[in-house]
Amino acid sequence: MISMDKKYKTRGGEGVTLYEVTPLLIFGRIGPEPESWDVGGCYLRANRSSKDLVEVKPRVTQKYWANIYPNEAPSFYLNKTTADCLAGTDRMACVEIEFDFEEGEGL
């Protein structure tokens, strides 16, 4: 459901500004051009358009520390102190890894 309290872009990646969401139509603009969509966010002038609305989800950055070992999978921890405390004697390195993703990505 399209809502004024969420952010949207077009399926093609263009920025969208919404002005009003009514029970039948959504009014807004893409750049300087006024546009309208149905209540599901489908662009009214074309079927399955690159101008359909898609929600912009917040980006999340998560950092971990990884203990690296010669013959096994790395172990991940939320901070370096924990990684150091739980390190095995054969640890080769302890590296910081940062993941940047859109909320819900990959689900």
pLDDT band of 10, cuts 50, 70, 90 = very high
- Give residue for tokens 């096994």: 72
Mean pLDDT of 73-101: 97
pLDDT at 107: 81
Measured CA to CA in angstroms, residue 95 lies from 15, 44, 66, 68, 79 at distances of: 37, 50, 5, 8, 10
pLDDT tens string 33-74: 999 999 999 999 887 789 999 999 989 999 999 999 999 999
What is the C-alpha to C-alpha distance for residues 41 and 2, in angstroms, rounded to an integer?
Answer: 7
pLDDT at 24: 94
